[in-house]
Amino acid sequence: MPRTSMNNRKILPSYLTRFIVPALLLAASTAKADINWDNVWVRAMPPTQTMTAAYGVITNSGADTVIINGGSADFAERVELHESIHEGDSVRMVPMEAVELAPGESLKLMPGGSHIMLMGISDMPMAESTVSLCLTTQEGPNCTTAQVLRKAPQSDHDAHHLHMNH
């Protein structure tokens, strides 16, 4: 009987390390960040321009802090989060480091403030078209579709049709 008890002690740690622990790690690594995108739009620019910006509200609807550390778009070579710094009569844009959003926290992206900078565009999207935008988090990409507009929606009601959760 003591021999069986000894074998059970060897089997349990082996079972844990070979099956249970890898399953838990896989589940943790494939978890998706709970980001909601609201009223997301991209400013339409003339076809000769190589840069534009995206705006809207990004909210962490999950239970854990989300770290946004990059982005991508199928029509832009580079995507960065930027903020506008007002210094006297001038404004300059600076890249933002990784952005942490606590559960329930939102990042408002708006003209003259924080925004998603889309650079290296060889074929500027046309006004009224839609594009795909992704933000990269510690858990991978989180994407949405945004409408390309000539100017910002005038109110939340006007932007209601731009509400997208992905």
pLDDT for 69-85, tens place per residue? 999 999 999 999 999 99
Cα→Cα distances 139→1, 42, 124, Å: 48, 25, 29
CA distance 145 to 102: 24
What is this structure's pTM? 0.73
Give the pLDDT score at 25.
41
Output the pLDDT for position 33.
72
* Residue 66 near residue 34 (C-beta atoms within 8 A): yes
119 three-class SS = strand
Query: For residues 96 and 79, is the Cβ–Cβ distance under 8 A?
Result: no
Please provide the average confidence, as pLDDT, over all residues in the chain: 82
Name beta bridge partners: 140. 137
**DSSP secondary structure letter of residue 22:** H
